[in-house]
Amino acid sequence: MSSPDFKKRVLTAEDLSLIASEVPALADFRGVRPWNRDKLWADVLDALMEARTKDQRAAAQQAVGAIHALDAIDRLFVRHDR
């Protein structure tokens, strides 16, 4: 974030990818690097549907929560050139 004015969107998709790659709950999913939100959601939802044990369900839920946090960062801070 190069700007002290937080109303400016100063992150890029590459920055978001870097942040996501540091989240352990997302380590094994496609779409983290390079950033592809749709692939990431698809893999996480597949994991959630295929989870058989309590630990697998908990891991998938953590990934869902991490994606929600990343979506909030995306909305607030990522520069989308239109």
> What secondary structure does DSSP assign to 25-46, as a single string?
GGTT-TTTTTT-HHHHHHHHHH
Is pTM, for the whole model, over 0.85?
A: no
Count of CB atoms situated within 10 Å of the CB of 4: 7
Res. 19: pLDDT tops 90: yes
Kindly report, residue by residue over 3-18, the tens digit of the pLDDT.
555 556 688 889 999 9
**Overall average pLDDT of the 70-77 stretch:** 89
Kindly report, residue by residue over 35-64, the tens digit of the pLDDT.
899 999 999 999 999 999 999 999 999 999
Output the pLDDT for position 49: 96
Output the pLDDT for position 26: 94
What does the alpha-carbon distance between residue 80 and residue 82 come to, in Å, rounded to a whole number? 6
- Do you know the residue count of the chain? 82
